[in-house]
């Protein structure tokens, strides 16, 4: 419930949220749109509040006049039980990252999944998606998988070092995307899967500054010669890691002749979509992207 004309009070609830770039991103766009837009982090670690008290925290911030909050690790799933309504994409995923406090109650959304989809269409237009491999079946991988299937991926193979996790995710995806072929596989099958795929999305923490390296052998990215003859069959590699933006995987992928998409697209578009939901105003995605790329270049 906004108390100031053009005013928005928004928060980010989670653990370790202090270094997040999201507050700066939202506030700069709010200013550029002529809004009085305040965005604060609510760090459960710092406040010594257990994540399972997310329902109380949501009550508090609503009472204190927040218009909306973003929700991040480890509350994206446990927040669901404390909402009045959940939009279909978030309900399918079983996770929310944006909660709006409306006169009709609290409404949950998931802009990780819409943000990946929008970023993919923006950064890899016309990329073939008949056969895609997803490496990483955690929270972000789940949001990406749903986005890929909504984008029309015909065959999605989910791979994770935790094979049970990959199997469970593939089964859940197959249940809610009846027209697609979804299965799980193990890491040692990547040597067969990757050369035959149109593209691969990487969604593990590998490649982040604190987890350097590449999750799989980049030599597997070299396409089969008969595929590379047709430029529309150029394989693509999307990384969702965004710190750094140009990961070792993306560098290797470019060297192997692949089209690439960095994790900044998902990060920006989850913020773009959240800003639009919160304010009803379509933000300038290009301006937010330029701002994000400046912020991410500053050493944390």
Catalytic residues: 76
Which among 147, 214, 210, 219 is positioned nearest to 177, based on CA atoms?
147
Selected binder of ligand NAD within 69, 197, 240, 253 (CB under 6 A):
240
Alpha helices by DSSP H, 177-284: 190-196, 225-228, 248-255, 264-279
Which among 7, 21, 32, 36 is positioned nearest to 287, based on CA atoms?
32
Check: CB of residue 190 under 8 Å from CB of residue 214. Answer: no
Which among 244, 251, 218 is positioned nearest to 299, based on CA atoms?
244
Question: In terms of C-beta distances under 8 Å and separation of at least 24 residues, what long-range contacts does 17-24 make, across chains too?
Answer: 17/41, 17/42, 17/43, 17/72, 18/43, 18/46, 19/300, 20/72, 21/267, 21/292, 21/295, 21/296, 22/70, 22/271, 24/291, 24/295
Nearest distance from residue 106's CB to ligand NAD, in Å? 23
Applying CB under 6 A, which part among 35-43, 145-153, 193-201, 239-247 lies near ligand NAD? 239-247
Selected binder of ligand NAD within 91, 161, 252, 295 (CB under 6 A):
161
Task: Write each residue from 95 to 134 as x if it is in contact with ligand NAD (CB under 6 A), else as -, in one continuous string.
Answer: -----------------x----------------------
Write out the binding residues for ligand NAD, residues 8-27 only, by CB under 6 A.
none
Nearest distance from residue 36's CB to ligand NAD, in Å? 27
C-beta of 140 vs 148, nearer to ligand NAD: 140
Selected binder of ligand NAD within 14, 128, 136, 199 (CB under 6 A):
136
Selected binder of ligand NAD within 158, 263, 278, 292 (CB under 6 A):
263
Q: Rounded to an integer, what is the distance from CA 52 to the centroid of its chain?
A: 23
Nearest distance from residue 205's CB to ligand NAD, in Å? 3
Which among 233, 231, 238 is positioned nearest to 143, based on CA atoms?
238
Selected binder of ligand NAD within 56, 84, 162, 286 (CB under 6 A):
162
Nearest distance from residue 273's CB to ligand NAD, in Å? 11
Nearest distance from residue 45's CB to ligand NAD, in Å? 17
CA distances to 3, 97, 108, 211, 277 from 283, in Å: 22, 18, 20, 33, 10
Number of residues that bind ligand NAD (CB under 6 A): 24
- What gap in Å lies between CA 286 and CA 113, rounded to an integer? 19
Q: Considering only the C-alpha atoms of the chain, give the largest distance between any 2 of them, rounded to a whole number of Å.
A: 62
Question: In this chain, which residue has its C-beta nearest to ligand NAD?
Answer: 138
Integer-rounded Cα radius of gyration of the chain: 19
Cis ω for the linkage preceding 74 (within 30 of 0):
yes
Write out the binding residues for ligand NAD, residues 185-224 only, by CB under 6 A.
203-206, 208, 215
Nearest distance from residue 245's CB to ligand NAD, in Å? 10
Selected binder of ligand NAD within 141, 218, 235, 283 (CB under 6 A):
141
**270 binding ligand NAD? (CB under 6 A):** yes
C-beta of 2 vs 52, nearer to ligand NAD: 52
Contacts with ligand NAD by CB under 6 A lie at 112, 136-141, 160-162, 165, 203-206, 208, 215, 240-242, 263, 266-267, 270
């Amino acid at each position: 419930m906004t108390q100031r004309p053009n005013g928005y009070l928004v928060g980010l609830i989670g653990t370790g949220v202090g270094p997040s770039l999201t507050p700066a991103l939202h506030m700069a766009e709010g200013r550029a749109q002529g809004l009085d837009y305040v965005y604060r982090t609510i760090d459960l670690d710092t406040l010594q509040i257990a994540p399972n008290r997310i329902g109380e925290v949501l009550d508090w911030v609503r009472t204190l006049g927040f218009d909306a909050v973003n929700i991040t690790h480890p509350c994206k799933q446990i927040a669901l039980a404390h909402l009045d309504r959940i939009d279909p994409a978030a309900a399918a995923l079983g996770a929310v990252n944006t909660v709006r406090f409306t006169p009709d109650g609290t409404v949950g959304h998931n802009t990780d999944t819409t943000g990946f989809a929008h970023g993919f269409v923006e950064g890899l237009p016309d990329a073939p998606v008949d056969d895609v491999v997803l490496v990483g079946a955690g929270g972000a991988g789940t949001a990406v998988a749903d986005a890929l299937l909504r984008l029309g991926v015909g065959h999605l193979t989910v791979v994770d070092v935790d094979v049970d996790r990959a199997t469970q995710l593939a089964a859940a995806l197959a249940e809610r995307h009846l027209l697609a072929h979804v299965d799980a596989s193990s890491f040692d099958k990547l040597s067969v899967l990757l050369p035959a795929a149109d593209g691969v999305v990487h969604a593990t923490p590998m490649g982040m500054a604190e987890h350097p390296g590449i999750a799989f052998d980049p030599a597997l990215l070299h396409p089969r010669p008969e595929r590379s003859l047709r430029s529309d069959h150029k394989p693509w590699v999307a990384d969702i890691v965004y710190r750094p933006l140009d990961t070792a995987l993306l560098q290797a992928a470019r060297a192997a002749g692949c089209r690439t998409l960095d994790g900044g697209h998902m990060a920006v578009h989850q913020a773009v979509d959240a800003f639009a939901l919160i304010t009803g105003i379509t933000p300038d995605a290009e301006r937010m992207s330029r701002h994000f790329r400046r912020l991410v270049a500053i050493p944390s």
